[in-house]
Each structure stands twice: as structure tokens, then as C-alpha cells.
Structure 1
């Protein structure tokens, strides 16, 4: 018959730290926020598709913009947090659907987060706000800024 330990007796082999008995706990948590789209959905929204078709296939956009026509933005982020530290964005994807004045898809762009800037994966250009100036417009603007009074 096995012997039971006596009350008050201490066996060091029976004492284990809780962290040793606990399963392997991950201190890093990863969360996905926002809109997740598939390649199949994108194939159902070709150039020239109507705004109604985009609404039906992709749903309500995360946000919209109006710059030379309307733009739908579908935004998703992957955020990681380690223990008690602040969450940090490790990936961001933005699907931008541009419409012409007839509410037809004129362009689709897929942007991501690289080095803290929004980046267009297709054209490999960083997105900017405002209209792009021609070389001559840039020269004229620079000369006006250097000499606003018009004389020397």
C-alpha cells in the first residue's frame, strides 16, 4: 500500500514553479482590424464596373474621398502587441477604388504600409495629395517664392 505523506513533511520534488507547469504561453498577440478582401472579389470588380456593383461585391467602404471623382477606401491593419507594451501596426493594406464622373470604376490601387508611408504596390510610387506639377510649373513656382515682390 502506498504511503501518504505525513502532515508537515516537505518534499522538494513535489514543489514546482507555476511557470513550469503552465503551458507555453505566448506573450505576443496579433489582431486583424478592418476589411479583408479576396482575389475573387477583386476579379468581380473590373475597370468600368458600376458603383452599385462595387457596393454589392465589396460592401461598404471603410472611408470615402472626393478628389477628381469619388474614391472608396477599404482599409485593413494587422496589429501586434507584446505583453503590456503599446500595440504596433505591422501591416496595413488599403484598397482604393477610383470612380469617374459617371460613377464607373476608373482605376483600382492596392496600397500598403512601408517605412511609415502609404505605398502603391502596382506603380511602386508613394501616394501624394494634390495634383502633380509639371517641370515648368515647379520652376515658375520656385522663382515666385524666391522673389515674391517681382524685383531684385
Structure 2
């Protein structure tokens, strides 16, 4: 009789352990489904091949054909086309995405409507940085349109909504 009790106790312990193991596996699978990291790109993502189609001296029409409509233009005289892009990462499915990178491609035109220069701005170590000419802005300058966009001071700290 004692051996039957021992067998039933052992089988109930095994059953509990297997149920616990099954529950643990189910919990891990359920939680792993929530932790999918999602990358969201918004705006115009700079393509090097398209950028090569717009050398200095190109017309506005060539720029529009190669890069498409700009995100925005300069306030006066449309002398600059701005192509803005943002990269956000959502670490968990139900969380808000966080801004991890923001770039502004600026195409400057001269008085004849030809490309004078191209700059690809972004933030590097908290400073406004041109990734094409590899230069940063000097301190003490007034906040420019690009500086306000990239450092988020022009919108009262709310950020840009594309």
C-alpha cells in the first residue's frame, strides 16, 4: 500500500513539474512575441544613387525628377529644398517609438536656379553636422532653421511630426 502511495505522490510531483515547465515555456513564448523591435523610417531616406544624379550645376527640374518633391522649401525665394527623414525605434510593440536619428538633406540653389551645393545635416555628438562636407557649425551662431529642426528647440520641445 505504501508503494502505491509513493507511486501516486511521485506521479503527481512529475505532473506538477511538467505543468510548471509547460507554463514557463508558454510565458516565454508570449513575452517574446511582445519584444519585437520595430524600426520606423519616415520622410525622405537619402539614397546615394539618387544623390549622384544631382551634381552641382543641376537644374531644379533635375532635382525634382531625381529626388522628388521636397519635405519643405526655404521661406523666401525657394532657394533651398529640404528633404527631412527620421528613424524611430519601437523597442516593444505597445510602446511609443523613440527618435534615434534625424537627417536633413539640403539642396541649395543659386540665382539661376542651379544647384550650388548639397549638404546632408544630422546630429553627431549633440552638434549640427554636415555629413557631406564633414563640418560642424561654430558656437555662438544664431539658431538656424536646420538647427531648430534637429535640436528640437523651434517647436517648444514637442518634436517634429511628419
TM-score (norm 1): 0.67
2:117 aligned with 1:107, yes or no?
yes
The one-character-per-residue Cα deviations of 1:30-73 (angstroms, maximum 9, x if unpaired) are 21111123211111101010000000110001111146861111
Aligned 8 A contact 1:95 1:109 in 2: yes
**Counterpart for residue 105 of structure 2:** 95
Instruction: Please state how far the C-alpha of 1:107 moved relative to its aligned partner.
Output: 0.6
**Counterpart for residue 126 of structure 1:** 137
2:17 aligned with 1:38, yes or no?
no
**Counterpart for residue 56 of structure 1:** 65
Aligned 8 A contact 1:63 1:72 in 2: yes
2:40 aligned with 1:24, yes or no?
no
The one-character-per-residue Cα deviations of 1:64-110 (angstroms, maximum 9, x if unpaired) are 11468611111111111233544321111211000111111001001
Aligned 8 A contact 2:84 2:104 in 1: yes
**Which consecutive residues of structure 1, in runs of 5 or more, have no partner in the other structure?**
1-8, 131-152
3-state DSSP of counterpart to 1:75: strand
1:133-144 correspondence to structure 2 within 5 Å: none
**Which consecutive residues of structure 2, in runs of 5 or more, have no partner in the other structure?**
1-10, 146-162
